[in-house]
Amino acid sequence: MERTERPTTSTRDPDELRDRLEAWLARVLPPGAGPSVSDVEVPGATGMSSETLLFEAAWREGGDPREPENPKKPENPKKPENPKKPQNPKKEALVARIAPDPSAVPVFPVYDMGRQFETIRLVGELSDVPVPQVRWCEPEGAELGAPFFVMDRVEGEVPPDVMPYTFGDNWFADARPEQQRHLQHATVSVLVRLHGIPDAATVFGFLASPHAGDTPLRRHVAEQWAYYQWVAEGVPSPLIERAFAWLDDHWPSDIGPTALSWGDSRIGNVMYRDFEPVAVLDWEMAGLGPPEIDIAWMIFLHRFFEDLAHDLELSGLPHVMRRDDVAATYESLSGYAPRDLDFYCVYAALRHAIVMSRVRRRSIHFGEAEMPDDVDELIMHRQALEAMLAGTYWSNI
C-alpha cells in the first residue's frame, strides 16, 4: 500500500523565521512602525512544494495603532464623551510563501516567487476570481534565506490532501450531495472567469515558456519534457516517455484559444466558505495554454484521489468532478466546448506522473521510502496512466 502520510517538506525553524520576519518588517515599514510577529505556524494539511508560513504581524502607522483598511462604521455613530487612548496595534493575519531550501530536495527546479506574486496581483486586478491580496515580494530573499512573498490570510476550509478528501471523514466528503455539486459548479466557474481574462498572452507574457514550439501548447509540452529530464537524472522512465510519444501521435488538430493557465487547478488548492471559493491558491505552475490544460487537470486530480480510495475499498466520491459533468458545466458557463479531452487528460496524468516521480525521489532522499527495481513504480498512478494510453481508462469508470 502506498504511503498516505505527509512527506518531509521543510527544513526551516519557525522560531528563526519569526525573528527574521520581524526584522524584515522593520525595514520595509515606515520608521516608528515597531512591528512584532507572533503565532508562527507551518500548516501540515496540504502542499508539497513552496513552503507556507502563517503568522500574525502588528505594527503602528503614524505612531498610532494600525486600524483595519475598511473599518465597519456603527449604525448610529456618536462622538464618545471620553475617547479612549489608542490600544495595542491591530494584528494582521498574513501568509508568507517561501521558495524551498535546496536541502529540501524541491519538487521543481526553479521557484520564481516574483512571477507568482505578479500573477496573483494581476488576477485580482483584472478579474473577480478570488485571490488573496498580495502585500510584498522579496525576489532575492536575503532576509529569509530564500525568495518569498507575503499576502493576506483568508479564512476558510480546503479539501485535504492528507488524508485525501475522497477517503471520507472530512467536511467536503461529509457534505450533502447538493453542497458538493454547488462547490463543483462554483469551482468550474473560477476556471471560466480565469480563462476569460482578455489578451492573456500579452498581459501574462512573463509566463510564456522559453522552450521551442510554434504554439503555446507545443511550448508547454516542451517545458514538461525539460522538467522530466531534470527529474529523471539520467534514469529514464519508459512509461513517461511512452506517454510523451502518445501525445505526439494524438496531437489536437484544432487547438483552443490561449488563456492564462492556473496550472495546479484542483479543489485542493481552493479555500472555501459555505462551499463557495474565497481564495484560489498555489500559482507556481501557472503558464499560458489552451483552457483544456486546467480543465483536464481538475478532472484528473480528483480522479487520482478517487482511484486511491477505490484501491482501499472505500466508497470515495464517484459522483463528484466527473469528466462529462465538468466539461458540460464549463461549456454552459462560457459558451466554449472543451475539446480533445482524451489528449488533455493523458497530458494531465503525464504531468502528474513527473511530479509524483519527483515526490517519491524526495521520500527516498529523506529515508522515507526505497528505490524500486522498476523506476515506473515511482509513479503512484501508473496503472491509470497505462490504461489511458491503452484507451481503456475512462470506459471502466
Mean pLDDT, the chain, as a whole number? 89
* Residue 224: per-residue pLDDT: 97
Please, which pLDDT band fits residue 8 given cuts at 50, 70 and 90?
Answer: very low
Residue 54, Cα to own-chain centre: how many angstroms? 16
pLDDT at 74: 46
Pick one of 1.10.1040.10, 3.40.50.2000, 3.30.200.20, 3.30.70.270 as the CATH number of 14-74+90-152.
Answer: 3.30.200.20
Burial of 396 (C-beta count, 10 Å sphere; 0-12/13-18/19+): exposed
d(CA 226, CA 387): 25
Task: State what percent of residues in the chain have pLDDT above 90.
Answer: 74
What integer pLDDT is reported at residue 218 of this predicted model? 97
- State the Cα torsion 162-165-169-172 to the nearest 10°: 130
Q: Which residues of 46-64 are buried (b: 16+ CB within 10 A; e: fewer)?
A: bbbbbbbbebbbbbbeeee
Confidence check: pLDDT of 298 > 60: yes
Q: Write out the three cell numbers for 214.
A: 510554434
Calculate Rg over the CA atoms of the chain.
22
- CA gap 224, 227 in Å, rounded: 5
Q: What are 48-58's pLDDT values in tens digits? A: 567 888 999 99
φ and ψ of 57, to 5 deg: -130, 140
Query: Which of 25-34, 73-82, 277-286, 291-300 bottoms out in mean pLDDT, i.e. has the lowest?
Result: 73-82
Residue of 128, 214, 248, 264 marked active site: 264
Q: Is 165:268 a contact under the CB 8 Å cutoff? A: yes
What pLDDT was estimated at residue 3?
A: 39
Q: How confident is the model at residue 103 (pLDDT cuts 50, 70, 90)?
A: confident
Q: Tell me the three state secondary structure of residue 222.
A: helix
282 noted as active-site residue: no
The predicted model gives 214-235 an average pLDDT of 96
pLDDT of residue 6: 44
pLDDT of residue 47: 45
**Beta strand segments in the chain, E:** 36-41, 51-58, 60-61, 64-65, 91-98, 134-138, 148-152, 259-261, 270-273, 276-280, 287-289
The CA dihedral of 336, 341, 343, 348, to the nearest 10 degrees, is: 100
Is the domain covering 165-396 a CATH 3.90.1200.10 domain? yes
**Grid cell 506522473 in the structure block, residue:** 353
pLDDT value at residue 73: 44
CA geometry: angle 286, 291, 295, nearest 5 deg: 90
Mean pLDDT of 220-247: 96
- Domain limits of the chain? 14-74+90-152, 165-396
Query: What is the residue type of 6?
Result: R
Distance CA 265, CA 91 (A): 31
